[in-house]
Structure 1
């Protein structure tokens, strides 16, 4: 690990200003990803600004604004607290399921909600500093493109990068149309719709999000919805625990009280793209249709038709198709098989 300076921020203003003046400084919260990357010499910050003492952990109902009636989750709250909070479990069980599907209890006790969104890819070419990786070293090439790419993207990839985004929590937040609230280095507040928070690789795969340097995630807002009774998070992985998703699906449905017609559908996928992937084609096809396995299958077929698999991950197309259908059926049944 390379030398760095360490300071502890007293308030959000001091935190953002400390980063704004140093392009190689980083915020330190739970550190469950950043410290590992520093040990592997992937991340090389010259300064760490500890933000763990900032008062940004509260979970509370939203009483005003565009998300009135929803729930605000503090950016520095722990993943464990978010997953087990009564209001999250009651009104947003999809989020609780997704958080609990990720990592171990010990890591969830340390990891913060804002930090979870900023996780970097687990692509082995990114972690191995002797290999080319445009995300780690722009311009060096993408080792996975012609290498071993079983775990990599089937949607939205570019010649510069085929890595996938690792968070489980973020897949649920994408399906729930969350909004990320941030504080800028100048002290202003801005809101970023979740669909615009993470980026596809394009020509700049080193940029994971649309945050500017020095911006601090203060909260994640969840709008009110009618998905609590019909939502499900499905995670497919190589082993039963402590593994990142080969592919995951967050599914939520609102169904009419009579006629079994789908009023709203939300589907987001993990393990398939550089960012949480909203299955917008499938969602659109389901609106107004009966909630049946046949219609779920047609929607899944339409979504996966646009997939562009690599040499070693063609299995993800069929896996994605089956997973969408299963997640929707589980959601329809209230999480029961």
Structure 2
């Protein structure tokens, strides 16, 4: 690739590893094409990232921006995995404190493109004022993004029950809605929090201000949602694939994974079901008990009572 055709692309994910890791995977894929990446996060989060492959390390520069301290946020907390759910609102407030440092970085480094997450609602305007092409890279599917209010629409959803039916701008039949217990659990972030800015407003402003939308999805998986997203937001929507994790293999197996792998290798084909709750899920004891109860019920249904009893 000719030197003058290489791009400098800055990445700025939200402070959650369910967001940071997909941003890093996309960074690796872009770097494989010879482009330069500036990956922006906080020092502790960057320190916890997997090691880069030697061939990509020279192309990915980690930019460490210290996270401002705010009242209510535990010391050394830099990601959602460091705090209980009720403290995430203070993490958002601290994240907003990165506005000036990242502005300085953009002014001095002048990347060709900036990709950012849902949280920095103030960033599209800054990037545009500096003449930097920018895009919202969503780790959520198109179906989830379509539930966010388009800038031109009127959203009259004011209580949790309103989110259990599709919003009026979704133009085809769908069962993709919140269940009441789901939206009730996170409704405080939809409406307001300690940062004085709701997640809904953050998402709406980012969608309104970006030049294009990149989605961790594929046209094969949800074509109707991606087409609708492009239509209701009025800007290009680019699916970038599902981005499975590609950690650098150092040749040293972690003991825990080695034991899991050994157990999996000894199981029959089609006999194991993988269920993921997310890397930062913190189920209560009641929820853990319910998960275990459902597991026993399904094992009994699938294998029969005698075989289920044998497996314990």
Higher strand share: 1
Higher helix share: 2
Q: Structure 2-normalised TM-score?
A: 0.23
Q: Find the structure with the greater CA-based Rg.
A: 2
